[in-house]
Structure 1
Amino acid sequence: MANTSEYNESLRQRGDLTIWVSDDVARKWSSPRRNTRGGQARYTDLAIEFCLTLRVVFRLPLRQTQGFMRSIVKLMGLDLVVPDYSTLSRRGKGLKIAENRRTSDEPITLIVDSTGLKMHGGYDWCTEKHGEKKRRKSWRKLHIGFDPDTGEIVGSELTTEHVGDETTLPDLLANIDVEVSQFLADGAYDGQSVVDCLVDKFRPEIEIIVPPPKNAIHGANSQRNQHIDAIAEHGRMKWQAKAGYNQKSQIEAQIGRWKRVIGDGLQLRGFDTQTVEAQIASKALNRMTALGRATYERVF
């Protein structure tokens, strides 16, 4: 590693509350008064997002999140009222997460993959004790769009376990507001609908690197035909290295990082609140990445 001391400091900063609590938190805390009829919101969406971010980063239940936030407000000497746990639960449903603007408009390489996240459920000892029918384990499927150059998650989408990767792609791409020059994914995205979706969203010249199956035959897509020919002539491993498909290991590492840092499950129970939880987790991981990344140099 070429930047050991800087990277170690970035890891320390991830647990520093001053990194997560900005100086202007008080100014953006209270919701402005509305001039129309109806109830008056007491807290801004940013205040709710702020509390839920601390909850995700430090893996706290909602009540402990309220207590944790109260202690922070007290230590900072702020005259703020902290949302109670029921308000956090209610406002978290369908919360609009503030997006961070990218500093560069350069086209990126987009790597896409998915993983399963466990849902809260019952415990086996209760089933054994009372003789109840065993519950079928339920999962949510997290789809991620990753930029290998910056290490950022540029898009995420949460679905039920039975929704396929190819089916989710249009919704995932709808959350990505940057131009993509190269798309990379596994064989689950091998289909003409994926090509059409990418061309409609970005540009006809987009490079699509998706491994075709072993029994693939030529079709209308010229890029796919070239991949089939290259694999037949040089073998799949050499094709992966030459085409750049080996970059896919970076999103697999990112998924492993998600499960180590955020956890391999979802704390909330409702699908709407779980979606917000996943969006907040993506934003929190990007914040950690912005603090510093490890850089490596080849040693000969």
Structure 2
Amino acid sequence: MKHPYKTREGGATVTIFVPYDCKNHCPFCINKGEYANLDGFSAEKICKSIERMDAITPYCDFVFTGGEPFADLEALQMMLDKIPTTHKVFINTTLPVSEHQSEDDILAFTERNKHKITCINVSRHMQKYVVESNDALLARLPVPFRVNCVLYKDYPVKDLVPYMERFHKIPGASIQFRFDYTATTPENLYDEEDDKILHDLKKVATYTGLDGCRMRCGFHFDYKGMELTYHKTLPYSTIVETDPKDGVTYDILYDILIKQTGEIHSDWDGTVMDVDAYEKVVFEPYDLKWLARIA
């Protein structure tokens, strides 16, 4: 740690990398290589780190990612049991079904944990990178869900409307289109003039506004009553900034990572967090706010 930590009220989001792999090979995924060797991966150690983070920030958000969280329901349940209901919990998933795990298994799990799960973020890309469960499963989920779609490189623009129509039919669906975060920079984070995805979406949906902060932003749209967001985020989670009020330079944390081994990181580049120092974190109001609203 170079500077004392600062984060938003409630605490930085804690992203948990489950200690087991998925069977997908998405080209924009930077985590796949970490699962080539599972030595040292431990759900038990992750649970201890969850307890540590809960003790420091008992109202922060938790996100399960991977890997594939739903690939091992028993391990996911063990980790989820360590998170009190003071936290919001999000699960990034493809909702995998197989001969070993049925749709009913997933539905039973989500029903059992619906008091804890805030939202399930389901990957459904326009270009097929993953084995997908039936769309009808989404409508049967007993918890809120959102469809995530990375618009990667030369995505098929002609398929945008058919893609939105596909999910418009499903009650409760919303879509978050995502820019390739490995290509996001401070210079293009809020760029509108040269953002091809933004222009493509404005041609087929009604633009309703923009929210954002130092780290990420969201362009909001309406498509026949269905909520759409175009999300962009920087590929790191720490902003170094000097507070003009006290003259102190802080590492401002937006995301904290619990890795597959249980080790706690303060950024996506392998930076190990000084957890003892984080116990003395300074809080600030969350800087995410609406920057434009279109009536």
Q: Is TM more than 0.5 here?
A: no
Name the one with the larger strand percent: 2
Give TM-score, length-normalised by structure 1: 0.32
Name the one with the larger helix percent: 1
